[in-house]
Structures are given as C-alpha cells and as structure tokens.
Structure 1
Amino acid sequence: MNGLEFAHYTADAAREGRDVVEDVYRRSYRDAIESRRAFSSPETFMQRFDAYTDPARGSGFELVVAYLNGVAVGQTWGWPLTPNTAWWVGLQLNESAEVTEFIEESGARTFALSEVMVDQSHSGRGIAHALHDELLAERTEARATLLVNPDNDRAYSAYRRWGWACVGNLTPTWPDATPTFDVLVKHLEEESL
C-alpha cells in the first residue's frame, strides 16, 4: 500500500507511546467497546497492554505500528514465551500429542503474537497482513502462536491464508476472558530458508 510505513518499538518505547496504542485500539474495536463487555473496555485493554510491557516481564516484547501518511492506522505486538509462561495454561490439544513437550518453552522457541488490529476505516486493504509479516519477518523463534475467537470468521480465514494451523483451544487466564479461543501455530523456521 502506497504511503504505508512501519515503526518498531521495544516494551519501554511502547509504554511511552501508549496513547497511540489506545487510540488505534479504540478505532479498531469500536463494536467490541460498544458491547460494554468488561474484557473489551479500553481501560481493561490498556491494563493488559501495561502488563505485557511491564519491565519485570523481561525483554523481547515488540510492537509494530503501521502509519499511513503519518497517521497510526494499525498495530501488532508479541513477545517470546519464557519457561514460566502462563500462555499455555488450560491448553487442550487437538491431537494426542504430549502436552508437556508441546508447551515446553525456553524463551527462544515460541513467539506469542498477541494482537493484530487495524483502524476500521482502513480495514480490508491488506494492512493487517502487512503488519503480521513485518512483525514476524525477523523473528528467530522456531514457531509463533496466537489465539483467535473461533466465531471470528474474517480473522480465522486470514490466519489460515497466512499459514497458521489450529492445534487446540484454551480460555485465557485474564479476568473476564471469554470465549474459549482456538490456539493457532505457525512454523517460522521454514520462512527464513
């Protein structure tokens, strides 16, 4: 897309730009915010953002913001899963694979892609895909994971086109987190070949 530029931010820099993060969230999730569900409120969303970027979590958080003609129109972020991660709590794998082996993390095995969002007035233009690719392009982890609402047909379809596969489901441990999400995984090593 002409005029689309990306900026990468560490956790510290992301915290400094939290007003931009909240603004993009508000323009991307208007319907969810209007539902008045506690989990979707901007205040609750920003509490999660603050937890993700908390210096006590360690390093590795990365935020990518897409700017179109100088205006932030989308963002995505994630971080590497550490050995003590709560990401996999409650995971139910689709296959009879060994859960313990699947969720064993080192800090370098799995990148958790937590959010991809685009201002509703700019959706359908490929910005989400561009953000996704920009964030994952230089990752050194072997795989990435994300959670998706199984009823979100648009997002689910996009993730499948982008190479993600469902491996199971779980309900996040965040307060008021619903529904049970599908857990998707994408292998990254192949892409760097």
Structure 2
Amino acid sequence: MNPDQKATVLEFHHLSAEQARERRTQVEDIFRGSYVHAIEAGEKFEAPEAFMHRFDAYTAPNRGAGFELVIAELDGLACGQAWGWPLHENTAWWRGLQLDEGNAIEFTAENGSRTFALSEIMVRSELTGLGIAHALHDELLGNRPEQRATLLVRPDNTRAYSTYRKWGWHRVGILTPSWPDAPTFHVLIRDLAA
C-alpha cells in the first residue's frame, strides 16, 4: 500500500448488555465525539450525564433480555455505535404514543418478538458522510428475528429524518419519552422482513 493511502477497514463488535457495561467509558467517548454540537449548545437531554444515565438504565441487569450494542471500528478507532432491544410485554417504550392513524392498543401490543427498538445510532462527527451510520444500521438490524423495528427521531433533525426515510422507515406518530428534558419525537417504523 502507498504510504499516503489510509486503510479503511470497518469492523463490528456485537455486545450484550453486560459486555456493553464493561465498555461504558468507550460508549461515552463515542457519544461525546458524535454529539459535539448538542453538548456545546447545552441541550440538557443530550448532556453526557443524562445520556449515560439512560445508557445505564438500558443495560441494567434487571432490564430484560435482548439488548444489543454494535460498535464500529474504523482502522482500530471506535467510530460509531448503535443499540437497541426487543420490546417486551408492558414495555414503557410506547407510553404517550399518539398514532397518526390506527388502533393504539393493537399497534403497541408486544410479546418480545414483534418489535425491535433501535434506540441509538451515532458516528463521530468528523467521520459522518462515509456510510458508517448505514453500515451500523444494517449490521444491527440485518439478522433480527422481530417483524418490525421502531425508532424515534427529532422532527427538526432533517438530515437524519431524510436518511431514515431513504432506508425504508416511515412515520406512524409522535411521542415524548418520560426521560427528563426529553423532546417530542416522531415515531418511525420499518418492516424487518423487507
């Protein structure tokens, strides 16, 4: 290889909740490198302490089975991450959902195998635009056994919103999570069988 060329090998590491907790420092580091502008703007919901509080709750031992974290490394540098979990019966995920249309009781009926919640996907800001987010998305969702996946996106995050739509997601409603200082999100759904 020419000394001026850079290697571009993207590797993925799949982690359970327990393994993710062991990499807590790395998870926070990737978050800080990805949400630079939101942190600098002082957004309370995106403050590192608030984010890590949510991470700790998602990976708590009593949380339930199925949490999966995928960390992407580019030439050995942890450059992005995505995580989620299957929604089980009585999940808090759907609390406060306002569907655009349809029956909310039927839509939110979960059994642990119907819906996978894609909770986070992020890439270090200096590496955006290289296809890493799409690769993380596909790596996390590619072999999921659930029928569908859901995620929350800020309506004013036009770049992410547009990208998700290109990847096959569509809006079904709005939701404000119960976390402190949480904004109102648009709820997107994607058929995983497609």
How far apart are 1:37 and its partner, in Å?
Answer: 2.3
Q: Which amino acid aligns with 1:7?
A: H
Match of 1:188 among 158, 178, 192: 192
Letter in 2 for 1:163: G
1:182 match: secondary structure: strand
Q: Aligned to 1:81, which of 72, 84, 87?
A: 87
Unaligned runs of 5+ in 2: 1-6
**Aligned-pair CA distance for 1:136:** 0.2
Give the Cα–Cα distance (whole angstroms) in 1 for the partners of residues 31 and 193 of structure 2.
Answer: 31
TM-score by length of structure 1 reads: 0.96
- Per-residue deviation, 1:41: 0.8
- Aligned pair count reads 188
Supply the AA of the counterpart residue of 1:83. E
Larger Rg: 2
1:3 and 2:13 correspond: no
1:129 pairs, out of 119, 131, 134, with 134
| 2:8/2:75 contact within 8 Å kept | no
2:175 paired residue number: 170
User: Which position in structure 1 is the counterpart of 2:124?
Assistant: 119
Provide the rounded CA distance (Å) in 2 between the counterparts of 1:84 and 1:174: 17
**Alpha-carbon deviation of 1:138?**
1.0
CA RMSD, Structure 1 to Structure 2 (Å): 0.9
Q: Distance in 2 between matches of 1:141 and 1:150?
A: 26
Structure 1 residue runs of 4+, over 6 Å off? none
Q: How do residues 56-67 of structure 1 correspond to structure 2 at under 5 angstroms?
A: 56-67=62-73
Name the amino acid aligned to 2:103.
E
CA distance in 1, matches of 2:157, 2:106: 29
How far apart are the structure 1 equivalents of 2:118 and 2:23?
19
Q: 1:142 aligns with which of 144, 147, 162?
A: 147
Give the counterpart of 1:152 among 157, 182, 192. Answer: 157
Gaps of 5+ in 1: none
TM normalised by structure 2 equals: 0.95
- Deviation digits for residues 142-191 of structure 1, max 9, x if unmatched? 0000000011010001000000000011101111111x10000000123x
- What is the alpha-carbon distance in structure 1 between the residues aligned to residue 154 and residue 47 of structure 2? 17
Q: Which has the larger share of helix?
A: 1
Identity of aligned residues (%): 62
